[in-house]
Amino acid sequence: MLLLRPPGVYAPQEDTWLLEQALREAAPAPGFRVLDLCTGTGVLAMAALRMGAAEAVALDASPRAVLAARCNALLHRLPMTVRRGDLADAVADAEAGEGRRFDVVLANPPYVPSPNPEPPKRGRAMCWDGGPDGRAVLDRLCGAAPALLKPGGALLLVHSELCGVETTLALLRDEGLEPAVVARSVIPFGPVLRERAAWLEARGLISPGQRTEELVVIRADRP
């Protein structure tokens, strides 16, 4: 699929396609309402529309990503709503009324462990840096998920094993959701992880010499 992607906008790659496949396998009923957090190019929200979503809202904190997603929606003639904002904005909107919640929430947040104590507010690293343990955005997302979902709705979240899969599952359970790993894929380190390999080893986040990571998609259902 042809996608416009300005510099600094996350390029769809293995985690994107793993999440898209998980959405296909979830097979939501036609007419579902979807929220795509950290949308980047908007490719996942567009995929949801092609799968029968009645409404797709794409959200990203990056102005360039918002522009890219809007242009891609126009290019492919898809009725996607694209907004600039973060997780707090999505929750505030959802809490304004039950009718503003979603059947499916897709999330490919920044999850790469970083030597920097806080996720960046600008620049390319916004796409991937998730704080020292990779969980700066993940933990907030786990806490916010119930507020975003309709009863019977589901969160589909992708991240690396390096962030702690069991931690994510436990946090989602604590929020009253029913989570499970529904997809896995082992891939070679990309440029960012290769550059940080020595730091990751020193932190004990990877084994000595490890140069692959496992990606997981977690599905969490709201009863």
Q: Which tens digit of pLDDT belongs to each residue from 164-216?
A: 999 999 999 999 999 999 999 999 999 999 999 999 999 999 999 999 999 99
Amino acid at 184: R
For 33, 138, 145, 210, the CA distances from 101, given in Å and listed in that order, are: 8, 20, 10, 41
Of residues 25, 70, 26, the one with CA closest to residue 46? 70
The predicted structure's pLDDT at residue 201: 96
pTM: 0.95
Q: Which tens digit of pLDDT belongs to each residue from 80-135?
A: 999 999 888 888 887 776 568 999 999 999 999 999 888 888 888 889 999 999 99
Quote the CA–CA distance of 106 and 119 in Å, as a whole number: 20
Q: For domain 29-221, say whether CATH 3.40.50.150 is its number.
A: yes
The percentage of the chain sitting over the pLDDT mark of 90, rounded to a whole number, equals: 87
For 103, 126, 130, 164, the CA distances from 57, given in Å and listed in that order, are: 12, 20, 23, 28
CB 120 within 8 A of CB 107: no
The predicted structure's pLDDT at residue 99: 65
The predicted structure's pLDDT at residue 97: 64
